[in-house]
């Protein structure tokens, strides 16, 4: 078996009947005839759009040739830019859904039962993947989720988008699926972790399209995510786990430095304690009350870098043409994306984040009296507009006060200013880029005539975003937009829309955990036995992939702790 990578493919190879083009390209790269290929499988594909006049795919394949042909090809090498690698005899490449050693039997041999059951707080990507792995090991986890199950959550959000009240317990941040449910479902990540492959496999086992296994920039879309999340939940239940919606974690019970239970509020509002000596805290970055509880319980937390800003919207057509030139709208390409960054002379970083091709801007608030925005897309990414966050790095000197949660306070102040600016209606304050750059408020008339229409469901309140944003944020964005325009023509076009505020792109705090056991520390440095901070809210992830991967990693750590306890070490 060999891997042939860096194979150039025409765009038509990405169409439904493109298999013969792939076969031809692979045979050409190997200097063979198509009939010499016994079998082959696509393992990676990305778009090369560096030259707008020559947009094409670059791909890698696992290929099986007759024994002696394979040896000869490996000896003489591939043609042109293509590269070869000997994959040996194993045919794993042709079984993409097989788990690697860690999830096959995991590291613990046969599953074993460990009373009392571990509790996982939060059913976002971190909590769900952690619970899935714990359930697979036989640990029968209990998952506490303050919001509704995914299907019901959709209805709650539809009701809000149609003008209903904000439910502080069930919204774009809270509810089964976590912040990732109403997302573009981008599965790209910068982390290098062998568990990433297993995360993709688990997604496919739960109903995600298999192409996420070979796409360079896979995404799931909100529409797929709802089914995938409910399938993960059913798998957890079938393996002995339990998922408790509308059940909020309120605090810990300790005996000395040992966790003995967690206090919860159930759907009827009653408080009770669940006995446990392992609690995975995967509460996400918006659980501000939970952060306060963690701080007040004496656990060690620290501030961490984060960023705030606005969402920008352009017509998707503009982005497609800027990125793909004449190839824009080729059916194999889909909606184009982008990623831009600028380093300003005063040392501030400004960058685009969480770009949603063909998506819409959504209200990502979880507190009454606050507006904040984010972006989501459906799998087809067929919306009229492209949107992305434009974020500015926050420094210590920007924070109001010395408390470890001062970053949360900055977010809250911005969200309240946005709510007030929009007439306390959950509309989002918005401004045309042309007006923003020339320090002019956008009038309602000018907004209504603007060719780019805002996608935010609750409507926008046109005005001046400088009334809402801290000065360092507004000034930095104004400085970066023309720079971005030089890299992506049309980015700072006057008709593009800025919508505010984007305050929750990442967690402003970290709950410190031990590097080896992944358990928390008390502020006095002692190990807090049984509390496992996990995912984005705890400061160990940023995005769906890294949160899910951290969930798997923490599940392994919980099982190691149980194993140690059982063997009395
Ligand atoms: P979360 O997903 O935030 O989950 C935490 C869960 O804990 C929530 O369900 C919450 O209800 C629950 N919870 C909180 N407190 C309690 C409590 N006290 N008791 C019980 N339950 C509690 N990332 C990407 O990689 N790709 C994208 O395309 C993308 N798009 C996004 C779009 C939007 C609109 C948003 C908001 C985020 C997006 N992100 C995206 C970020 C991504 O969703 C997060 O990085 C990821 O969800 C973090 O996972 P998590 O499990 O750590 O936390």
For 48-73, write each residue's pLDDT tens digit: 999 999 999 999 999 999 888 999 99
**Chain centre to alpha carbon of residue 280:** 19
**Among 34-38, 179-183, 269-273, 346-350, the least confident range:** 179-183
Query: Does residue 109 surpass a pLDDT of 60?
Result: no
37: left (phi over 0), alpha (psi -120 to 50) or beta: beta
Q: Give the pLDDT of residue 566.
A: 74
Please check the confidence at residue 112 and state whether its pLDDT lies above 70. no
The string of pLDDT tens digits covering residues 369-390 is 999 999 999 999 999 999 999 9
Residue with the bigger pLDDT between 192 and 431: it is 431
Looking at the chain, the whole-number percentage of residues with pLDDT higher than 90 is: 88
- Does position 102 have pLDDT exceeding 60, yes or no? no
Give residues (CB < 6 A) around ligand 1.
121-127, 144-147, 172, 174-175, 178-180, 182-186, 248-249, 282-284, 287, 290, 354, 362, 364, 374-376, 535-537, 541-545, 547
Look up tokens 């774009």; give the residue. Answer: 172
**ipTM at complex level:** 0.99
**Residues 120-156: tens digit of each pLDDT:** 999 999 999 999 999 988 899 999 999 999 999 999 9
CB of 203 within 8 A of CB of 220?
A: yes
Q: What is the pLDDT of residue 88?
A: 84
What pLDDT score was predicted for residue 510?
97
pLDDT for res 407: 97
Which pLDDT score, from 0 to 100, does residue 67 have?
80
Q: Is the pLDDT of residue 543 over 80?
A: yes
Contacts of 342 (CB under 8 A, 6+ apart): 349, 350, 351, 479, 480, 483, 484
What pLDDT score was predicted for residue 108? 47
Residues 6+ apart with CB under 8 A from 374: 172, 179, 182, 183, 311, 354, 361, 362, 364, 389, 502, 504, 505
Average pLDDT score over the chain? 94
Poorest-confidence range of 134-138, 344-348, 435-439?
134-138
The closest-lying atom of ligand 1 relative to the alpha carbon of residue 185 is 28
Atom of ligand 1 at shortest range from CA of 176:
9
CA-based torsion, 494, 500, 504, 509: positive or negative: positive
Q: Which of 121, 122, 391 to mutate to test the pocket of ligand 1 (most atoms within 8 A of CB)?
A: 122
Residues 391-404 have pLDDT tens digits of: 999 999 999 999 99
Please state the rounded mean pLDDT for residues 416-421: 97
Q: Return the H-helix or E-strand segment holding 296.
A: helix 288-296
Question: Which domains does the chain carry?
Answer: 2-94 (3.30.70.2700), 114-302+509-567 (3.50.50.60), 305-502 (no CATH)
Q: Give the mean model confidence (pLDDT) for residues 152-179.
A: 97
Q: How far is the CA of 286 from the centre of ligand 1 (A)?
A: 8
**What pLDDT, on the 0 to 100 scale, is given for residue 107?**
47
């Amino acid at each position: 078996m060999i891997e042939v990578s860096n194979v150039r493919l025409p765009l038509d190879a990405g169409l439904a009947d493109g298999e013969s083009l792939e076969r031809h390209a692979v045979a050409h790269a190997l200097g063979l005839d198509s009939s010499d290929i016994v079998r082959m499988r696509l393992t990676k594909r990305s778009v090369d759009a560096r030259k707008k006049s020559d947009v094409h795919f670059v791909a890698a394949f696992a290929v099986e040739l007759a024994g002696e042909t394979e040896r000869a090809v490996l000896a003489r090498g591939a043609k042109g830019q293509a590269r070869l690698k000997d994959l040996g005899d194993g045919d794993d490449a042709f079984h993409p859904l097989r788990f690697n050693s860690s999830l096959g039997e995991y590291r613990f041999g046969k599953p074993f039962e460990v009373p009392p059951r571990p509790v996982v707080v939060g059913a976002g990507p971190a909590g769900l993947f952690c619970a899935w792995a714990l359930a697979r090991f036989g640990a029968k986890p209990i998952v506490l989720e303050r919001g509704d199950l995914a299907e019901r959550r959709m209805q709650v959000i539809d009701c809000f988008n149609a003008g209903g009240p904000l439910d502080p317990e069930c919204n774009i941040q809270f509810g089964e699926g976590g912040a990732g449910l109403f997302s573009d479902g981008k599965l790209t990540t910068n982390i290098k972790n062998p568990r990433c492959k297993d995360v993709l496999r688990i997604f496919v086992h739960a109903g995600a399209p298999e192409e996420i296994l070979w796409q360079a920039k896979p995404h799931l879309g909100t529409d797929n995510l709802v089914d995938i999340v409910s399938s993960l939940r059913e798998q957890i239940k079938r393996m002995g786990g339990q998922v408790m919606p509308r059940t909020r974690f309120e605090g810990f019970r300790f005996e000395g430095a040992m966790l003995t239970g967690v206090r919860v509020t159930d759907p009827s509002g009653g408080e009770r304690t669940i006995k446990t000596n392992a609690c995975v805290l995967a509460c996400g970055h918006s659980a501000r009350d939970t952060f306060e509880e963690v701080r007040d319980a004496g656990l060690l937390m620290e501030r961490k870098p984060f960023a705030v800003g606005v969402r920008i919207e352009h017509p998707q057509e503009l982005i497609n043409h800027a990125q793909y030139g004449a190839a824009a709208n080729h059916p194999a390409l889909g909606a184009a994306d982008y990623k831009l960054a600028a380093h300003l002379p005063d040392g501030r970083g400004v960058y685009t984040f969480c770009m949603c091709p063909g998506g819409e801007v959504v209200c990502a608030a979880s507190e009454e009296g606050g507006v904040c925005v984010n972006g989501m897309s459906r799998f087809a990414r067929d919306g009229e507009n492209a949107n992305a966050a434009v974020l500015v790095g926050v420094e210590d000197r920007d924070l109001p006060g010395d408390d470890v949660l001062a970053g949360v306070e900055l977010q809250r102040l911005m969200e309240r200013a946005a709510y007030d600016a929009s007439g306390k209606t959950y509309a989002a304050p918005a401004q045309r880029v042309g007006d923003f750059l020339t320090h002019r408020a956008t009038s309602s008339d000018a907004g209504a005539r603007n060719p780019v229409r805002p996608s935010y469901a609750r409507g926008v309140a046109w005005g001046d975003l400088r009334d809402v944003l801290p000065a360092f944020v507004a000034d930095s964005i104004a400085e970066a937009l023309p720079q971005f325009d030089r890299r992506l023509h049309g980015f700072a076009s006057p008709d593009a829309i800025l919508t505010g505020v984007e305050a929750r792109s990442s967690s402003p705090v970290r709950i410190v955990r031990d590097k080896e056991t992944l358990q928390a520390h008390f502020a006095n440095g002692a190990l807090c036995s049984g509390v496992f901070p996990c995912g984005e809210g705890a400061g160990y992830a940023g995005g769906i992939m890294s949160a899910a991967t951290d969930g798997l990693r923490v599940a392994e750590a919980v099982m190691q702790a149980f194993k140690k306890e059982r063997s009395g070490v």
